[in-house]
Structure 1
Amino acid sequence: MPHQPVSSRNRHFARTMRKEATEAEDKLWQELRGRRLDRIKFRRQAPIGNYIADFVCLEARLIVEIDGSQHAGSDYDRRRDMALNECGFRVLRFWNDDVLRDLDSVCDTIIAYARDPSLKPWR
């Protein structure tokens, strides 16, 4: 992906979002930070072009999004995912409840997708 400049507005917004993470985002970040999950490097609330990714593994070109119910059937999310796909990223989405109730399965799925670039997200 060619370098895309990040606006100072998006950079500031990403910093704010890091400080105001949801319970599910915090819980998953504790597993992802510092290469704790299978030695895979993730960044959180990372600006990518015009968007902010909840979590991104640049090496695997994988974005992990944690969604609340407001994202169900979201046209905005579909357009956003298409734009990120065009930049060479796969977007893997989990519901907040998935993270809060079955963190081990979420982590196993993330490892599988980070290690196998042929896997395509299901939603």
Structure 2
Amino acid sequence: MNVNRILVVEDNFILNFELCEFLRESGHEIRSVYCGQAAFEAINRHEHLLALLTDIDLGPGPDGVDVARYARAFSPHLPVVFISAARDPRHEFNGIDRSEFVAKPFQPQQVADALARVIRLEAA
């Protein structure tokens, strides 16, 4: 079965849970992980991903930009949305084109809207 999942990578457990619940209620299939290394392992399973939603600062280990680069190595046009509390995350300067950024704090709908835009962009 080819299920389209959104991979959510967020190290804050409460925010991860809330985002995933909101996205599930919006009709999305979600795979949730809490660190960059776990994201690499999920990507290595070669499941079809509809999009990647990742925090940039994931604590020790790979960050969200590393995760996006890794995922794009398998799927060069994978839609990516970054989230971060950093004032100037500069994700656009790290080779992840056709992605979006949502600053924390945010409303879950802002993330859902950004995901919809990058998914539509890829489909175009």
Q: TM-score under structure 2 normalisation?
A: 0.50
Structure 2 match to 1:48: 43
Partner of 1:87: 74
8 A contact 1:66–1:95 mirrored in 2: yes
What is the distance in 1 between the residues matched to 2:28 and 2:65? 26
Alpha-carbon RMSD:
3.9
Letter in 2 for 1:114: I
Q: How many corresponding residue pairs?
A: 90
The question of 1:111 aligning with 2:116 is answered: yes
Once residues 56 and 66 of structure 2 are traced to their aligned partners in structure 1, the CA distance between those partners, rounded to angstroms, is 15
Cα distance change, pair 32–77 in 1 and its aligned pair in 2 (3 A): closer
1:37-91 per-position Cα deviation (integer Å, ceiling 9, x unaligned): 2x333322261118xxxxx972x2x1111344859xx975434322211110333
CA distance in 1, matches of 2:105, 2:117: 20
2:20 aligned residue: 29
Which of 1 and 2 has greater Rg?
Answer: 1
Structure 1 counterpart of 2:95: none
The gaps in structure 2 that reach 5 residues or longer are: 1-8, 34-38, 87-102
Provide the secondary structure at the position in 2 that maps to 1:101.
coil
TM-superposed CA distance for 1:31, in Å, is 0.7
Partners of 1:101 and 1:25 in 2: CA distance = 13
Are 2:96 and 1:101 aligned? no
Runs of 4+ in 1 over 3 A off after TM superposition: 67-71, 74-80, 96-101
CA distance in 1, matches of 2:54, 2:19: 10
Q: Secondary structure of the residue that 2:122 maps to in structure 1? A: coil
